[in-house]
Amino acid sequence: MKLITEEVSSVKFITEGKGANKKMFIEGIFLQGNLKNRNGRVYPVDTLSKEVNRYNESFVQKGRALGELGHPDGPTVNLDRVSHKITSLVQEGNNFKGKAQLLNTPMGKIASSLIDEGVTLGVSSRGIGSLREDHTGAKVVGEDFMLATAADIVADPSAPDAFVSGIMEGKEWIWEGGALREQVASHTKRRINTLVSQKRLEEHKLGLFQEFLSNI
């Protein structure tokens, strides 16, 4: 059984309601069956259909289908890193269309702020299962596949740029969140200043962003 993640970028972010009732959602294709993806893997649609039915019954319908911001290293959903709740996951042909609501959690607020800053976000499914190679060289996901989450939120390369700007400009979404958050942000700002003076910031932006997310 291996940890398997697949990124999908064909999602959109929509806002419903206004003022205190404003809610932000992710909507789009979360999973795709019978298609060789860019990682060279194929998910048989029957395998996905069976697993999505289990996931819906055990998690979505009970309000327990959660996802994180970023790429965790294992199959567990870490509650302190949750950014959104998946509210629906429906099969449409070989695709599985999902909808998720961003939550008022530290990670949910960061995801919302990245969107407000113009960063493009996508989703990535995360699960465990076996793989076998077929006659075309594709890695076919086995019937033992189990979803940990139908969607984590992943950022495109513009996210670290927005993050560095937010650190240097004192943006609320980065700095506000208690003493620990402020301490981590201050440490990151000092490192940015050092890297700028060494003309090495560009190559370290992504690492700084990921380190910040893992430390707050």
Q: What DSSP element (H or E) covers 8? A: strand 2-8
Tokens 């795709």: give the residue.
Answer: 32
Q: At what angle do helices 201-215 and 159-168 cross, to 10 degrees?
A: 80
| From 49, 71, 113, 158, active-site residue | 71
Closest to 100 measured CA to CA, from 33, 151, 147: 151
CA-to-CA dists, residue 8 to 27, 131, 151, 179, 189, angstroms: 11, 20, 9, 35, 32
| From 83, 112, 124, 125, active-site residue | 124
112 is catalytic: no
For residues 123 and 58, the answer to whether their CB atoms sit within 8 Å is no
Question: What is the DSSP secondary structure assignment for residue 108, as one 8-state letter?
Answer: H
Tokens encoding 41: 């893997």
71 is catalytic: yes
**Residues with catalytic function:** 71, 124
